[in-house]
Amino acid sequence: MKRVLSIAVVVLMIFSAMNMFAGGQKESAKDGTIVIGANIYSFADNFMNGVMKPELERYAKEKGAKIEIVDSEGQQAKLNDQVDVFITKKVSVLAINLVDPAAAGTIIAKAKAAKIPLILFNKEATEAGAMASYDKVWYVGTNSAESGIIQGQMMVADWKANPSWDKNGDGTVQYVLLKGEPGHPDAEARTRESVKAFVDAGIKVEQLALEADPNWSTQHGNDKMAAWLTSGFGNKIELVICNNDGMAFGAINALKAAKVALPLYGVDALDQALTHIADGEMNGTVLNDGVNQSRATLDLAINAAQGKPVTEGTAWSLTSDGTKAVRVPYLPVTPKNYKEFRK
Ligand code: BGC
Ligand code: CA
C-alpha cells in the first residue's frame, strides 16, 4: 500500500513539474527572452509612428526583450485578429494601442482567457468596468484633460497679451478647431478643456467650425483649413486650435498657401512643431511625452511578464484613483522655452 502511494506521489510530482515547464514556456521564448506582442493603431499617425514606435523598439532592445509591433491600419477588427495571432504564438505579454477605445473589453477578454498580461497604451478604455474585469491589465498614457488645460492657459495668456488678435474687436474669440478622433479621450478632453480655459478667464468664445478626423492627419488639417479660409467665415477666423501637431502641420500649409497668418496651437511637441515655433508659424504646443510613455509601457510589460508587481524597480507609479494607470505629465512648449525640447 505504502509503495503504491509513493508511486502515486512520484507520478504527481512529475506531472506538476511538466505543468510548470509548459507554463514556463508560455511566459517567454525558449531562451528565456520576454516576447512582447504589440501594435500601433495606425502607422500613418505622426505621433505614434514618429515618437512612440521608435522608442518602443529602442527601449525593448535596451531591456533585452523582443518586441513585434504590427500596424492595425485604423481597423479594430484587424487588431482583434492580430491579438489572436499573438495569443497563438504564446507571447509573454501584450502591449496594445486600441483602435476603438470603446472596444477595450474585447481585447481584455481575449488576454484574460489566454492568461496573458496586457498593457494598454495611448488610448484609454472608455467602457465602464473594462479595466476592472481583469487583474492583469494596466494602462499607460496621460491625464488627457491636462493637455487641454495647458494649451488653453497658453492661448489665454497670449490672447490677453495680443489685443490685435481680436480682429473684429468684439471681445470674443472666433475660433476653428481640429478635433482628431471622435470618442478618443484625448480628443474629447482637449476640445473641452482648451475652450473652457477662455470661459474660465472671462473671455467669450464663438466656435466658427469644428471638424473631427479618426486619423488625426496632416492631410485632414490641410483640407479643412483650406476649406474654412475660403468659406463665408474665412476672414472672421481669429484662432486655430489643433488637438495634435499632425493636424496643425496641415493647417499651417493651408494658411501659407493662402498667405494668411493666424495664431495657431497644437499638442505633442513633435520636432517639426518646434521648427514651426522657431519660424513663427505656430504659437505653442504641449509636450506629449511619447518617449516616456513608451518606456513606461515596456517597464510595466516586462514586470507583468515576470509576474512581478508592475511598477517594481521602475520610475513609474500607478495613480491612486483605481484606474490602474501610469500617467506621464504634459508640459507647455512656447516660443520662450521650445529650445529646451530640441533633441
Ligand atoms: C496624440 C495624437 C495621436 C493620438 C493617437 C494622442 O495622444 O496627441 O497625436 O494621434 O494620441 O491615439
Ligand atoms: Ca473677435
CATH number at residue 59: 3.40.50.2300
- Examine residue 136 and state whether it is found in any structural domain, yes or no: yes
Q: Which residues contact 217 (CB under 8 A, 6 or more apart)?
A: 44, 45, 46, 246, 247, 250
Say if ligand 1 is within 6 A of residue 42 CB. no
CA 208 to the chain's CA centroid: 28
- Examine residue 28 and state whether it is found in any structural domain, yes or no: no
Q: Are residues 284 and 298 in the same domain?
A: no
Q: Are residues 46 and 134 in the same domain?
A: yes
Q: What is the pLDDT of residues 74-91, one digit of tens each?
A: 999 999 999 999 999 999
Ligand 1 pocket check: which of 244, 292, 333 to mutate, most ligand atoms within 8 Å of Cβ?
A: 244
Paired strand residues for 325: 139
Q: Are residues 177 and 189 in the same domain?
A: yes
Give the Cα separation of 90 and 327 in Å (integer): 28
Q: How far is the CA of 15 from the centre of ligand 1 (A)?
A: 49
- Examine residue 4 and state whether it is found in any structural domain, yes or no: no
- Examine residue 7 and state whether it is found in any structural domain, yes or no: no
Q: Are residues 73 and 150 in the same domain?
A: no
Q: What is the pLDDT of residues 284-299, one digit of tens each?
A: 999 999 999 999 999 9
Q: How far is the CA of 270 from the centre of ligand 2 (A)?
A: 30
Asked if pLDDT for residue 9 goes beyond 90, the answer is: no
Ligand 1 pocket check: which of 142, 144, 219, 268 to mutate, most ligand atoms within 8 Å of Cβ?
A: 268
Q: Are residues 113 and 204 in the same domain?
A: no
**Structural domain count, the chain:** 2
Nearest ligand, measured from the Cα of 187:
1
Atom of ligand 1 nearest to the CA of 187: 6
Say if ligand 1 is within 6 A of residue 243 CB. no
Q: Are residues 114 and 240 in the same domain?
A: no
Name the closest-CA residue to atom 10, ligand 1: 216
Nearest ligand, measured from the Cα of 174:
2
Q: Are residues 280 and 309 in the same domain?
A: no
- Examine residue 118 and state whether it is found in any structural domain, yes or no: yes
Q: Are residues 277 and 308 in the same domain?
A: no
Nearest ligand, measured from the Cα of 122:
1
Atom of ligand 1 nearest to the CA of 246: 9
Q: Where are the alpha helices (DSSP H) in the chain?
A: 2-27, 46-47, 53-62, 76-88, 104-113, 144-161, 185-200, 218-229, 245-257, 271-278, 290-305
- Examine residue 60 and state whether it is found in any structural domain, yes or no: yes
Q: Are residues 283 and 301 in the same domain?
A: no
Domain span at residue 244 reads 145-288
- Examine residue 11 and state whether it is found in any structural domain, yes or no: no
Is 3 in a helix, a strand, or coil? helix
* Arithmetic mean of pLDDT, 24-49: 84
Lowest mean pLDDT among 15-24, 45-54, 266-275: 15-24
Residue 19 burial (CB < 10 Å; 0-12/13-18/19+)?
exposed
Name the closest-CA residue to atom 3, ligand 1: 47
Q: Are residues 85 and 214 in the same domain?
A: no
Q: Take residue 104 and report the three cell numbers written for it.
A: 477595450
- Examine residue 337 and state whether it is found in any structural domain, yes or no: no
Q: What is the pLDDT of residues 40-70, one digit of tens each?
A: 999 999 999 999 999 999 999 999 999 999 9
pTM: 0.91
Atom of ligand 1 nearest to the CA of 142: 7
Give the Cα separation of 336 and 278 in Å (integer): 10
Q: Are residues 283 and 173 in the same domain?
A: yes
